[in-house]
Amino acid sequence: MNRHLLPIILAATVLMACQPATDPTPAEPQVGPPDADEASLARAEAAIGELGMRLRAALQGRMQAEGPLGAIDFCTVQAPVIASEVMQAHGVRLGRTSERVRNPANAATEWQAAVLRDFAANVAAGEAPEAQRAVLRDGLPDGVALRFMRGIRVEAPCTLCHGREIDPGIAKAIAANYPDDAATGYREGELRGAFWVEVPAGIH
């Protein structure tokens, strides 16, 4: 990629780094669930919405202050801090995961891996990645009221850092932080991974 063009493209697009599509889809109507379940789902959706908003706002500030390559460092250092603040504010646990992670700390747990497999199968069958939603209410561990996941689609800008042809400068910066990076080789429109949220029982 052209060296002079790259920062401009990054500046325009990197605002979405760490910031998968989070347009808030209204909760699907549930048939007669207890109010507590509805409250848990609303809490899960709200937490995801706030995470997306705060990542975006913080990343914009970072871009203005330090330019595009600073965004990679931002993802490494600030994204987990923001996630933990949102977790505290909403009283939930949350994060992002994928079948191919960049940060091993984001590796899917067993339940997350099972949902990711479902999402991947649905997408392979022609469904949209961002339309994937899973609400788990049954058979949860003690103290967990609800688990929720939402699929993340690879948008064009994401391929700058997760795609097939990554600019050497960016690739180098990524490799320095993530020697085991498996989150490349994606094409636009593919399933990149998912948000997950775990709502504890008894906090309504």
- HSE-up of residue 96 (Cα within 13 Å, Cβ side): 26
- Which of the residues 88 through 147 are near ligand HEC (CB under 6 A)? 96, 98, 101-103, 106
> What is the C-alpha separation between 147 and 149, in angstroms, rounded?
7
- Using CB under 6 A as the binding rule, whether residue 62 contacts ligand HEC is answered as no
- Using CB under 6 A as the binding rule, whether residue 55 contacts ligand HEC is answered as no
Residue 96 forms beta bridges with which residues? 195
Number of Cβ within 10 Å of residue 51's Cβ equals 28
Tokens of 14: 């990197």
DSSP annotation of 165: S
Minimum CB separation of residue 141 from ligand HEC in Å reads: 23
- HSE-up of residue 174 (Cα within 13 Å, Cβ side): 20
> What is the C-alpha separation between 7 and 69, in angstroms, rounded?
8
Mapped onto helix, strand or coil, the DSSP state of residue 58 is helix
- Using CB under 6 A as the binding rule, whether residue 191 contacts ligand HEC is answered as no
> What is the C-alpha separation between 104 and 111, in angstroms, rounded?
17
Size of the site for ligand HEC (CB under 6 A): 29
Minimum CB separation of residue 24 from ligand HEC in Å reads: 16
- Using CB under 6 A as the binding rule, whether residue 150 contacts ligand HEC is answered as no
Part of the chain binding ligand HEC (CB under 6 A), chosen from 14-22, 24-32, 136-144, 196-204: 14-22
- One of 79, 94, 123, 197 touching ligand HEC (CB under 6 A): 79
Residue 134 forms beta bridges with which residues? 149
- One of 51, 145, 149, 158 touching ligand HEC (CB under 6 A): 158
- Using CB under 6 A as the binding rule, whether residue 149 contacts ligand HEC is answered as no
Minimum CB separation of residue 121 from ligand HEC in Å reads: 19
Give the footprint of ligand HEC on this chain (CB under 6 A): 14, 16-20, 71-72, 75-76, 79, 96, 98, 101-103, 106, 152, 154-155, 157-158, 160-162, 174, 183, 192-193
